[in-house]
C-alpha cells in the first residue's frame, strides 16, 4: 500500500487511475493494531516522498492500437545478408 499526503495526494487523486504506471520513492513503515475480534493485524506501507508518472492507461491502450506494420524498421542492418554497413563500428 502507498501512502501519499498533502498536495501530492491531490495530484495523484486527480491524474491517476487504476492501471497507470508510476515510479515511487519513499520509506517503508510497518504497523500493527487490534481488530474488533481481538486478533492482531499487521500491515506494511510505503510513505511516498517522491513519485513520477510513467504512463497512463490511455497511453497503454493507444500503443496497442498501432499496427506492427507502422513501426519503422532498422535500415542500418540487413539481417538476411548479416552484413554491417561500412560506417558501423566493429564493437
The C-alpha cell of 89 is what? 563500428
Residue 38 predicted with pLDDT over 60: yes
| Residues 24, 50 contacting (CB under 8 angstroms) | yes
- Residue 33 pairs with which residues in a beta bridge? 41
Residue 65: the pLDDT is 59
The residue with greater pLDDT, 61 or 82, is 61
Give the CA dihedral 15, 16, 17, 20, nearest 10 degrees. 120
| Residues 23-38, mean pLDDT to the nearest whole number | 92
Q: What's the whole-number mean pLDDT along residues 3-22?
A: 89
pLDDT at residue 24 in the model: 92
Residue with grid cell 563500428, as numbered in its chain: 89
Taking only the tens place, the pLDDT of each residue in 42-69 is 999 999 999 998 886 666 666 665 555 5
Amino acid at each position: 500500500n502507498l501512502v501519499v499526503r498533502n498536495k501530492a495526494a491531490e495530484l495523484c487523486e486527480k491524474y491517476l487511475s487504476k492501471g497507470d504506471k508510476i515510479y515511487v520513492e519513499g520509506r517503508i513503515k510497518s504497523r500493527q493494531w487490534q481488530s474488533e475480534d481481538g486478533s492482531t493485524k499487521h500491515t506494511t506501507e510505503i510513505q511516498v516522498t517522491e513519485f513520477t508518472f510513467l504512463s497512463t492507461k490511455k497511453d497503454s491502450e493507444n500503443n496497442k492500437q498501432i499496427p506492427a506494420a507502422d513501426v519503422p524498421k532498422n535500415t542500418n542492418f540487413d539481417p538476411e545478408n548479416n552484413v554491417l554497413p561500412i560506417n558501423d563500428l566493429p564493437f
